[in-house]
Copies of this chain bind each other. A is one copy, B any other.
Amino acid sequence: MSDTQEPSLDEQIAAYQREFRDLDPQVEKVVSALGRLNRRMNVAYGRQVAELGISNAEWEVLKHLVLSGAPYRLGPGELAKRLGLTPAAMTHRIDRMATDGLVTRDRDENNRVRVIVELTDEGRTKWLEAMRMATAFEEDLLQDLSSEERGALGEMLIRLLRRVEHAQPDAGGRLKDLD
Protein backbone atom coordinates (compact mmCIF):
# COMPACT_ATOMS: atom_id res chain seq x y z
CA MET A 1 0.00 0.00 0.00
CA SER A 2 0.85 3.71 0.12
CA ASP A 3 2.77 3.39 -3.10
CA THR A 4 3.04 7.04 -3.93
CA GLN A 5 4.39 7.31 -7.40
CA GLU A 6 5.99 10.09 -9.30
CA PRO A 7 3.35 12.49 -10.56
CA SER A 8 2.86 12.96 -14.28
CA LEU A 9 3.89 16.26 -15.75
CA ASP A 10 0.33 17.55 -15.74
CA GLU A 11 -0.23 16.43 -12.20
CA GLN A 12 2.98 18.10 -11.20
CA ILE A 13 2.01 21.39 -12.77
CA ALA A 14 -1.43 21.23 -11.18
CA ALA A 15 0.19 20.65 -7.79
CA TYR A 16 2.50 23.62 -8.25
CA GLN A 17 -0.44 25.80 -9.17
CA ARG A 18 -2.20 24.85 -5.96
CA GLU A 19 0.85 25.89 -3.96
CA PHE A 20 1.94 28.89 -5.97
CA ARG A 21 -0.82 30.99 -7.44
CA ASP A 22 0.86 33.12 -10.04
CA LEU A 23 2.47 30.35 -12.00
CA ASP A 24 2.23 30.40 -15.77
CA PRO A 25 1.28 26.82 -16.66
CA GLN A 26 2.57 27.17 -20.17
CA VAL A 27 6.00 28.29 -19.05
CA GLU A 28 6.10 25.68 -16.36
CA LYS A 29 5.20 22.99 -18.84
CA VAL A 30 8.09 23.85 -21.11
CA VAL A 31 10.57 24.10 -18.26
CA SER A 32 9.48 20.95 -16.49
CA ALA A 33 9.43 18.96 -19.70
CA LEU A 34 12.92 20.18 -20.53
CA GLY A 35 14.22 19.12 -17.16
CA ARG A 36 12.62 15.72 -17.15
CA LEU A 37 13.57 15.00 -20.71
CA ASN A 38 17.18 15.78 -20.01
CA ARG A 39 17.28 13.59 -16.94
CA ARG A 40 15.81 10.64 -18.77
CA MET A 41 18.12 11.13 -21.71
CA ASN A 42 21.15 11.18 -19.46
CA VAL A 43 20.05 7.95 -17.86
CA ALA A 44 19.66 6.43 -21.30
CA TYR A 45 23.07 7.62 -22.47
CA GLY A 46 24.61 6.35 -19.26
CA ARG A 47 23.20 2.87 -19.76
CA GLN A 48 24.40 2.79 -23.33
CA VAL A 49 27.97 3.85 -22.73
CA ALA A 50 28.15 1.58 -19.71
CA GLU A 51 28.02 -1.27 -22.23
CA LEU A 52 31.32 0.04 -23.55
CA GLY A 53 32.79 0.07 -20.07
CA ILE A 54 32.86 3.84 -19.73
CA SER A 55 30.82 6.37 -17.78
CA ASN A 56 28.96 9.41 -19.00
CA ALA A 57 31.68 11.51 -17.38
CA GLU A 58 34.37 9.82 -19.44
CA TRP A 59 32.32 10.04 -22.59
CA GLU A 60 32.08 13.80 -22.11
CA VAL A 61 35.84 14.06 -22.10
CA LEU A 62 36.12 11.92 -25.23
CA LYS A 63 33.57 14.14 -26.97
CA HIS A 64 35.45 17.32 -26.26
CA LEU A 65 38.73 15.86 -27.39
CA VAL A 66 37.21 14.71 -30.66
CA LEU A 67 35.53 18.07 -31.10
CA SER A 68 38.90 19.76 -30.89
CA GLY A 69 39.81 17.97 -34.14
CA ALA A 70 42.97 16.06 -35.04
CA PRO A 71 45.37 15.54 -33.36
CA TYR A 72 42.76 15.43 -30.58
CA ARG A 73 44.68 17.31 -27.93
CA LEU A 74 43.58 19.68 -25.20
CA GLY A 75 45.00 20.87 -21.90
CA PRO A 76 43.43 19.90 -18.59
CA GLY A 77 42.50 23.50 -17.90
CA GLU A 78 40.70 23.90 -21.19
CA LEU A 79 38.88 20.61 -20.69
CA ALA A 80 37.87 21.61 -17.19
CA LYS A 81 36.44 24.88 -18.44
CA ARG A 82 34.43 23.20 -21.16
CA LEU A 83 33.11 20.46 -18.92
CA GLY A 84 32.28 22.83 -16.10
CA LEU A 85 34.57 21.11 -13.62
CA THR A 86 37.27 22.42 -11.34
CA PRO A 87 40.85 21.80 -12.49
CA ALA A 88 41.29 19.48 -9.53
CA ALA A 89 38.46 17.24 -10.66
CA MET A 90 39.90 17.25 -14.15
CA THR A 91 43.25 16.04 -12.88
CA HIS A 92 41.63 13.03 -11.26
CA ARG A 93 39.39 12.26 -14.19
CA ILE A 94 42.34 12.31 -16.56
CA ASP A 95 44.24 10.04 -14.16
CA ARG A 96 41.55 7.42 -14.43
CA MET A 97 41.15 7.75 -18.16
CA ALA A 98 44.90 7.52 -18.67
CA THR A 99 45.18 4.34 -16.62
CA ASP A 100 42.24 3.00 -18.62
CA GLY A 101 44.14 3.78 -21.81
CA LEU A 102 41.61 6.23 -23.22
CA VAL A 103 43.99 9.18 -23.24
CA THR A 104 47.64 9.97 -22.68
CA ARG A 105 48.95 12.76 -20.49
CA ASP A 106 52.26 14.42 -21.31
CA ARG A 107 54.08 17.64 -20.53
CA ASP A 108 54.24 20.11 -23.37
CA GLU A 109 57.92 20.19 -24.38
CA ASN A 110 57.66 23.78 -25.57
CA ASN A 111 56.21 24.97 -22.32
CA ARG A 112 56.73 22.61 -19.48
CA VAL A 113 54.04 24.14 -17.32
CA ARG A 114 51.43 22.95 -19.71
CA VAL A 115 50.09 19.44 -19.99
CA ILE A 116 48.70 17.86 -23.12
CA VAL A 117 45.92 15.33 -22.94
CA GLU A 118 45.68 13.36 -26.14
CA LEU A 119 43.13 10.85 -27.28
CA THR A 120 44.46 7.34 -27.85
CA ASP A 121 43.26 5.11 -30.65
CA GLU A 122 41.32 3.16 -28.10
CA GLY A 123 39.73 6.34 -26.86
CA ARG A 124 38.77 7.33 -30.36
CA THR A 125 37.27 3.93 -30.99
CA LYS A 126 35.23 4.15 -27.81
CA TRP A 127 33.99 7.55 -28.86
CA LEU A 128 32.94 6.22 -32.23
CA GLU A 129 31.05 3.30 -30.73
CA ALA A 130 29.37 5.56 -28.22
CA MET A 131 28.46 7.95 -31.00
CA ARG A 132 26.87 5.18 -33.05
CA MET A 133 24.71 4.12 -30.14
CA ALA A 134 23.85 7.69 -29.24
CA THR A 135 22.80 8.70 -32.72
CA ALA A 136 20.63 5.62 -33.06
CA PHE A 137 18.96 6.49 -29.79
CA GLU A 138 18.51 10.11 -30.83
CA GLU A 139 17.00 9.14 -34.18
CA ASP A 140 14.59 6.97 -32.30
CA LEU A 141 13.81 9.73 -29.87
CA LEU A 142 12.88 12.20 -32.59
CA GLN A 143 11.03 9.78 -34.84
CA ASP A 144 7.63 11.28 -34.07
CA LEU A 145 8.65 14.72 -35.27
CA SER A 146 8.51 15.75 -38.91
CA SER A 147 11.48 17.46 -40.44
CA GLU A 148 9.69 20.80 -40.16
CA GLU A 149 9.00 20.18 -36.51
CA ARG A 150 12.59 19.23 -35.84
CA GLY A 151 13.73 22.42 -37.48
CA ALA A 152 11.30 24.53 -35.50
CA LEU A 153 12.25 22.79 -32.27
CA GLY A 154 15.95 23.26 -32.84
CA GLU A 155 15.48 26.87 -33.73
CA MET A 156 13.45 27.60 -30.62
CA LEU A 157 15.91 25.84 -28.35
CA ILE A 158 18.71 27.89 -29.82
CA ARG A 159 16.82 31.07 -29.10
CA LEU A 160 16.50 29.99 -25.49
CA LEU A 161 20.15 29.08 -25.40
CA ARG A 162 21.13 32.52 -26.58
CA ARG A 163 19.14 34.01 -23.74
CA VAL A 164 20.87 31.99 -21.06
CA GLU A 165 24.31 32.42 -22.49
CA HIS A 166 24.06 36.16 -22.62
CA ALA A 167 22.81 36.14 -19.08
CA GLN A 168 25.80 34.33 -17.58
CA PRO A 169 28.12 37.26 -16.77
CA ASP A 170 25.72 38.70 -14.24
CA ALA A 171 25.79 36.42 -11.25
CA GLY A 172 22.67 37.81 -9.75
CA GLY A 173 19.35 38.56 -11.18
CA ARG A 174 17.23 38.49 -14.22
CA LEU A 175 18.33 38.14 -17.76
CA LYS A 176 19.33 41.25 -19.56
CA ASP A 177 17.89 42.27 -22.85
CA LEU A 178 19.79 41.25 -25.89
CA ASP A 179 19.95 43.20 -29.08
Contact = CB atoms under 8 A, between A and B. Distances in A.
B30 A41 contact: no
A109 interface: no
Contacts of A36: 161
A142 interface: yes
B141 A33 contact: no
B161 A74 contact: no
Contact of A26 (B22, B136, B141, B151): B151
Interface in A7-57: 7, 9, 12, 15-16, 18-20, 22-24, 26-31, 33-44, 46-47, 51
A106 interface: no
A171 interface: yes
Contacts of A4: 68, 74, 78
B145 A159 contact: yes
Contacts of A152: 152, 156
